[in-house]
Amino acid sequence: MEYSNPKIPEGINASTQHPLKEFFLLTGGVLGGVLIVVVVLTLLADRLAVYIPFESEMQLVTRVTDGIPAEGAEPLPIESYLNGLADQIAAEEGLPPEMQLTVHYVDDDLVNAFATLGGHIFMFRGLLEKLPNENAVAMVLAHEIAHIKYRHPIRSMGRGIIFGLAITMVSSTLGNAMTDQVLANTGGVTVLKFSRDQEREADQTALNALYRRYGHVDGADLLFKVLQQQEREGEALQMPEFFSTHPLSEHRIDDIHTFQAEHATATDVATVPLPDQFVAWLIPAETEKTD
C-alpha cells in the first residue's frame, strides 16, 4: 500500500476572504443594531417616565438623599429670593401645582446650575456672580424650571437605566472589555442627542416665560455669553456638538436672537436690576459670622 501527503488545497478549512471585509460587515451590522435597539428602548423609557407621578419622584429623592439638604433648615436670603423668583416664573410657565420647586444655593466657583429629580434646582455662586441683572438670573431659573416641567430629570434617569441595562446585557455575551467600551460609546452618543433636544426645548420655554413676564427677552443671552466666555478661556472644555450634552452656546445665542426678531417689542426695553443686597447674599454664611 502506498501512502502520501499531497498538496493541501487552500481555502477549505480556512476562509480566503479578506479579514477587513468581515470586520466592516460585522462592526457596521452590530454597531448599527445596537444603535437601533438603544434608540427604541430609550425612546420607550423616555415616553413612559412621564407617567411616574411627581409625588413618587419626590419620595425617591428623599429616600436617596436621606434629608440632605436638611429639612426645616432656615433658607439663606439668596435662596428665599431665588425661590420667590422661581415661583413667579413657574406661574408663567404654567407649572402644575403638584410640582414643588426648591432652589438651593451652592457656594462654589463652578459656573453652573442644574435641575434634578424632585423639583430641586441648584444654583452655583460662580454663575450667579457673573449675571448682571434679574433677567439673566430669571433666564437660568426659567431654563431649569422648564426641565422640571417637562420631567427631563426623571426621563434622563429612565433612559440611563434602560441604556445601562441594555449595554450590560449585550456586553455580558461578548467577553471583551474593549468591545464593551465601543458599544457603550456608540449608545452614549445617541443618548446625548436626546439631551441636546431637551436643552433646546427648555431654552424655548424659558424664553416664552421671560417674554410673558418682562415683555422682552433682553438679558436672556447673557447666560450663554458667560458660558461662551468660559469655553474661550479654556475653563470649560468645548467639545464638538455631536459629543456634547448641550447644544453649542453660539447656536443657543442665535436661537435667542431669532426669538427676539420674531417677538418684536414696541416699548423701550429695560432690564430689571438685581436687589441691592444680592452681592452680599452671595458671600458664604460662615465668613459673615466671623466678620
Partner 1 sequence: MADLTIFMVLLALGYGFGRYAELKHYKSIIRREKEFRDIPAVTTKFPPLSKAVDAELVSGSVVISVDYFKRFIAGLRNLIGGRVTAYELLLDRARREAILRMKEEARAFDGHIIFNVKLETSSIHKGRKNGVGAVEVMAYGTVLIKQ
Chain residues that interact with partner 1, rule: CB under 8 A: 1, 3-8, 13-15, 17, 19-20, 22-23, 26-27, 29-30, 170, 173-179, 181-182, 185, 243
Nearest distance from residue 168's CB to partner 1, in Å?
13
The dihedral through the CA atoms of 21, 27, 28, 30 has a sign that is: positive
Nearest distance from residue 163's CB to partner 1, in Å?
17
Nearest distance from residue 247's CB to partner 1, in Å?
19
Q: Which is nearer to partner 1, 39 or 52 (CB)?
A: 39
Q: Which is nearer to partner 1, 48 or 165 (CB)?
A: 165
Which of 93, 94, 85, 83 has its CA nearest to residue 134? 85
Nearest distance from residue 176's CB to partner 1, in Å?
4
Residue 70 DSSP code: P
Cα–Cα distance between 146 and 149 in angstroms, integer?
Answer: 5
Nearest distance from residue 192's CB to partner 1, in Å?
13
Q: Which is nearer to partner 1, 20 or 70 (CB)?
A: 20
Retrieve residue 170's grid coordinates. 449585550
Q: Which is nearer to partner 1, 3 or 51 (CB)?
A: 3
Three-state DSSP at 108 gives coil
3 state SS for 203-252: HHHHHHHHHHHHCCCCCCCHHHHHHHHHHHCCCCCCCCHHHCCCCCHHHH
Q: Which is nearer to partner 1, 186 or 204 (CB)?
A: 186
What are the φ and ψ backbone dihedral angles of 19, each rounded to 5 degrees? Answer: -60, -30
Cα–Cα distance between 141 and 138 in angstroms, integer?
Answer: 5
Q: Which is nearer to partner 1, 37 or 60 (CB)?
A: 37
CB 153 within 8 A of CB 136: no
Nearest distance from residue 178's CB to partner 1, in Å?
5
Nearest distance from residue 45's CB to partner 1, in Å?
22
Q: Which residues contact 139 (CB under 8 A, 6 or more apart)?
A: 206, 207, 210, 217, 219, 220, 222, 223
CB 36 within 8 A of CB 94: no
Q: Which is nearer to partner 1, 15 or 65 (CB)?
A: 15
